[in-house]
Each structure stands twice: as C-alpha cells, then as structure tokens.
Structure 1
Amino acid sequence: MSESKHMGLNREGTPWEPQFVTDLDQAVCIGCGRCYKVCPRDVFDLVEREIDEDDDAYDDYDDDVVMVMALDNQGDCIGCGSCAKVCPKNCHTHTSASSLA
C-alpha cells in the first residue's frame, strides 16, 4: 500500500488511519452519554431533542423532549474511534482522514 493512504503507524508498525466522527444520528441516540464520557476532546454535548409524534419508542414518555448527544466541537475529534466502540446504538458516522483531505 502506498504511504499516502495511511496517516501513521500503530505501536506494532501496522498502518493506521484516523476515522473522524462526522455525524451523529439523534433519532437513534438514547442519550446514554457513553461517547461523551470516553471522548478525550469534548467533541460531544448533551442536548434536548423534541419527540416526533410517530416515534413509538417514546409512547410511555410524559415529556415532549428527550436528551440526546450532539456534535459540539467536531473539529476537535482526533479520530480515535472510542465513541463508536462504546455506543450501544451505533449512531456515529466516521470518515477516514484521507477522505476528508
């Protein structure tokens, strides 16, 4: 593989390319905060999201809003992928560094 396809090497010398978080699906997010807790760069924030009338997941919910995660400082992402590893709902979208260049 060419050198330009990889942004670096891990400790074992295996090529590694950062995968930056580029989107978060708030309709899927349950607001557990796991990504917030593991992120070393404060990329995420907990925000209110209005409940859609058609969302059956919140039928027994009394409020009109739920708390979900949002991308707050997306530019601070270092591409470690920790958020995706701990998310129980797989709501993060990541893009490789070379695709963003």
Structure 2
Amino acid sequence: MAGFATRDGRPWVPEYLTAIDPKVCIGCGRCFKVCARAVMTLRGVTEDGDFVDMDDEDEEELERKVMVIADGGNCIGCGACYRVCPTGAQTHAPESLAA
C-alpha cells in the first residue's frame, strides 16, 4: 500500500467504500450528496427484493429505495459518506482489505 499523508505530513490511510447494507440503508441520499466522485447511486427495491433502476419502475411499485455502489473504483477513501450516514449502513476498509 502506498504511503499517504495529510498536507502537514501526518500519515493518513484512506478507507474505501466496500459495501452498503441494503437492509440497513434507508435511501436518504445524504451519502450521495456529499460524494463528489459518483461512487453511489439510488436504486429501487421491489417487493421481491430485486434492485431496479429508478426510471425502470413506477415509484408506486417500489417497496423502498436504497443506495448502492455504482463505481467503487472511483472512491478516494475520504470517508465523507460514512460520516453523514445516519444508520451506519456502509462498510469501509483500507486498500489492503478493500480488494
């Protein structure tokens, strides 16, 4: 793993988004709003538990909405999404464990 540092030289280990628990996520969108890297997207969940794109399904047919990882490789490990998540639905890990 590469050695990273803050601007003043203190060591820093980025922790990347590795999972979002759909049973815990409430689909509030806070994480989506703070992420400038388009790592996540909101998906609909049907009564059968299937994930669907929001434009593919009539909103009345959805059981609920949850956030999912859309482009995990674009995560920079800043942790902003984790800090705003009210339910702790996200899992983050350093590079050595994220793969």
| TM-score band w.r.t. shorter chain | 0.7 to 0.9
Equivalent pairs counted in the alignment come to 88
Task: Say yes or no: does 1:38 pair with 2:34.
Answer: yes
Normalization by structure 2: what TM-score? 0.78
Alpha-carbon contact 2:46-2:63 (below 8 Å) kept: yes
Extract unaligned runs of 5+ from structure 2: 49-59
CA contact (8 A) 1:50 1:64 kept: yes
Can you give the 5+ residue segments of structure 1 that lack an aligned partner in the other structure? 53-61
1:100 to 1:63, Cα distance in 2 relative to 1, 3 A: closer
**C-alpha RMSD of matched pairs (Å):** 2.0
Of residues 76, 92, 96, the one that matches 1:94 is 92
For 1:17 and 1:63, locate their aligned partners in 2 and report how far apart those are by CA, in whole Å.
Answer: 42
The alpha carbon displacement at 1:49 in A equals: 1.5
Question: Normalising by structure 1, what TM-score?
Answer: 0.77
Larger radius of gyration: 1
Classify 1:78/1:11 alpha carbon distance in 2 versus 1 (closer, same or farther; 3 Å).
same
